[in-house]
A and B are shown apart, each in its own frame.
Chain A
Amino acid sequence: MSALRILVPVKRVIDYAVKPRVNKAQTGVETAGVKHSMNPFDELSVEESVRIREKKSAPGGVEDICVISAGPPKAADVLRTAMAMGADRAVHVDVKEGEDLEPLTVAKLLRAAVEREKSNLVILGKQSIDDDAAQTGQMLAGLLGWPQATQASQVRFEDGNRVLVTKEVDGGVETVAAKLPMVITTDLRLNEPRYASLPNIMKAKKKPLVKLSLSDLGVANERRLKVVKVTEPTPRQGGGKVEDVDGLISKLKELGAL
């Protein structure tokens, strides 16, 4: 079996635990001064790649784990985090703040990166928690003409470049098999990502990080969709508290339930 060259795309998004707020112009959510971190699904892909290496689960071994992110200069932070978790090197594709890429553009960009890095396995999150598009992995597989296994909850390797992927479906699990090269998208139960340890954070600082532009990869940021308006969900009608049984009964009467 050929040695694995894994490409792991990661995205810097508003932290999962932060409540996003719509900006005043209603064109998007407020990002300035808001805590950002790695898309949780991407953490799973980084963790899985590192585990494949550590557990030696691929018969051919892992030759290279390269993480890639397209975004503003701050995106380098999540690349360093990924390298602290165990990735070997990083590629940062510079995109100006506010110039978001659509999934198809990201997929095209990743196709170019796959060719550039000679990757034979792409592990990526099934979706990013900011736009929830959940399209990139599938489009990438289409562009490359590779098999895809989506929403992986378990990844196993067999001889002869065969990969078994278990995915959780309604009411059970489904296991699919494909041959490398292939695309896998990750789901929440795949693993539990590790913490970035101090020694590894320091090592990560010395790992190579290459900067590229969109044009280096032969891609332009074409947008097919226009955001018309972003609004908050309608606030929930809050419940009321009553002091005692009498209060409850009069409230129910008032509402015509009694």
Chain B
Amino acid sequence: MSCSSRLTPVLRRTIAPCLLRSANASNCVPCAARRISSTATRRLRTSPRRCAKFTTDTYPEIKRDPRFAQITKEHVAFFRELLGKDSALVDGVTADVSLEDMEPYNGDWMRKYRGHCKLVLKPGSTEEVSKILKYCNDNMLAVVPQGGNTGLVGGSIPVFDEIVVNTSRMNKIRFFDEVSGVLVADAGVILEVADQFLAEKGYIFPLDLGAKGSCHIGGNVATNAGGLRLLRYGSLHGTVLGIEAVLPDGTIVDDLGRLRKNNTGYDLKQLFIGGEGTIGMITAVSIHCPQRPKAVNVAYLGAESYEQLQQAFREAKNHLSEILSAFEMMDSYSQDLVYKVRQNKRLLEGEYPFYCLIETSGSNPTHDSEKLEAFLDQLMTEGIVSDGVVAQDETQIKSMWAQREGVPECLGHWGGVYKYDVSIPLSDLYRLVDETRERIEKAGLKGDTDEFPVVEVAGYGHMGDSNLHLNVAVRRYDKRVEEVLEPFVYEWISKVNGSISAEHGLGIAKKNYIGFSRSETMINLMKQIKALYDPNGIMNPYKYL
């Protein structure tokens, strides 16, 4: 097309003043540059984007693996030819790319990790992924598979100049069986899109989490995300029926089974679930979806102590049994911060040290509310909870969930969050938060003014799964805070036989701490698997093990 070739250079020129500055630049593109380059709408963006420190600066001990090749023009030419169109790659090697175009692939939403990636590939099919990985393997080019980039441990962020292979163009739902509820979809389908598709058929995606609007299901499976309804529908290790993945040598692992039962040999797909893209890249998922519940009830309760919360959980299992679909706990610190950031009305009149959100899902509204009422009745008469509210309509259900789902986002309001996603036996679960807060206070790091790095230490999480999120909200990432937190938190967890990563994965954040939760024998077995499937080590390097 004649006019397209005339137009593309024009576009390039408008972007040109906003060049990606040299890789060691520590701050963002200056405002002036942005103003020249931007269109009118972009100029309206008032708050300057805060950029994270490069991961290589945060972890100076990580050195670029010299076995990996530098990306050359020839490599880019190969990929351009392979993918066939300009929109399928973001090329910062042979052309200039604005920081704004590259940054979404190079950093995470918590602004904790940032890579030096110069090339993003967006394949449109499994075959293209296969060709990309084979080429990278043959040419010793390191690769980072990436989905919606909502991970919390830096697993999808490049460290050096690894090539990002993004799943966003592989976003088709391939198959759905209305009788069995089996869904087969590309890795790049957004979780919420999949769930909305299923909603129309009367089904529900067995995974739900706060980032549902942007995370990709391939990424969810690669991190083995847990989420809000694990209590009800179980882990992805159980609900995922099959996987299509590509190994570094280009082999397509077609194990896209649709069977619930299949006892024929080693269940290799499990290696990719929670494998964080270290042995291959997931390109499609087959998953068993349950019937969407017709009746959903939500209650939000306040309790005087953690002991009472545990009692409430026991009673919930007792009374609600099969309809209980979530039991989420939140401490007052996490809730106070949400109210502070959002300035919304408190759900309860009084203030309590602990809150919980209970959700029931069933098929018969009358039956469910009867059960819920009897349960709440007992909680109140026995004084297990002090106050509570019950959602009377959908809008109230949403605002109660927002009070739980909004916690991670609101904690990040001041600049950053140290996140620990841990499994701890229920009886000890909250003690970790108290002891961590004590340590931070003793070190004089917490305060209301800007000179203190720490804003608050908060705990919340999926009580139903013994999964605590210990979060330290900070104004800036600070070595002193880190020294107080680590390895203290990991040692503490190891002492009570907990897990240092319940559902977020290892990524780069917990790579060095896996030993607190796994024995040396186990780690060695894992390393053997890595070496077997990825002998050149090109898949998501510097992370995981």
Contacts and interface: CB of A to CB of B under 8 A. Distances in A.
10 contacts: A16-B394, A17-B393, A35-B365, A37-B392, A192-B345, A195-B391, A196-B392, A198-B379, A198-B389, A199-B380
B240 interface: no
A195 B396 contact: yes
Contacts, number: 71
Contacts of B398: 17
B518 to A, nearest CB: 43
6 tightest A-B CB contacts, nearest first: A17-B394, A37-B393, A195-B389, A244-B87, A198-B388, A246-B4
B22 to A, nearest CB: 29
Nearest to B86: A244
Contacts of B376: 198, 201
A195 B85 CA distance: 54
A243 interface: yes
A230 interface: no
A38 B8 contact: no
B393 A249 contact: no
B387 interface: yes
Interface string A1-39: 000000000000001111000000000000001010110
A130 to B, nearest CB: 14
B223 to A, nearest CB: 28
Contacts of A244: 85-87
Contacts of A33: 294
Nearest to B365: A35
A231 interface: no
Given A198-B301, A198-B389, 14 more contacts: A17-B395, A35-B393, A81-B392, A195-B391, A195-B396, A196-B392, A197-B387, A198-B376, A198-B387, A198-B388, A198-B390, A246-B1, A246-B4, A249-B7
A144 B217 CA distance: 61
Interface in A23-57: 33, 35, 37-38, 40
A199 B376 CA distance: 10
Given A197-B349, A198-B301, A198-B376, A245 B389 contact: no
B392 A38 contact: yes
A33 B349 CA distance: 33
Contacts of B86: 244
Contact of A243 (B85, B365, B385): B85
A15 B345 CA distance: 22
Nearest to A37: B393
Interface in B348-400: 348-349, 365, 373, 376-377, 379-380, 385, 387-396, 398
A37 to B, nearest CB: 3
Nearest to B392: A81
Contact of A37 (B373, B380, B394): B394
A15 B7 CA distance: 50
A244 B124 CA distance: 14
Interface in B294-317: 294-295, 299, 301
Interface string B458-497: 0000000000000000000000000000000000000000
B308 to A, nearest CB: 14
A175 interface: no
Contact of A249 (B3, B373, B391): B3
A250 interface: yes
A76 to B, nearest CB: 12
A219 interface: no
A13 to B, nearest CB: 10
Contact of A195 (B294, B347, B385, B394): B347
B179 interface: no
Contacts of B379: 198
A245 B392 contact: no
Contacts of A16: 393-395
A201 B379 CA distance: 13
A37 B392 CA distance: 7
A229 to B, nearest CB: 25
Most chain B C-beta atoms within 10 Å of own C-beta, residue among A38, A81, A195:
A195
A33 B295 CA distance: 9
A154 B393 CA distance: 25
A202 interface: yes
A16 B379 CA distance: 30
A165 B86 CA distance: 62
Contacts of B77: none
B32 interface: no
B11 interface: yes
Nearest to B369: A77
A81 B373 CA distance: 13
Nearest to B88: A243
B389 A15 contact: no
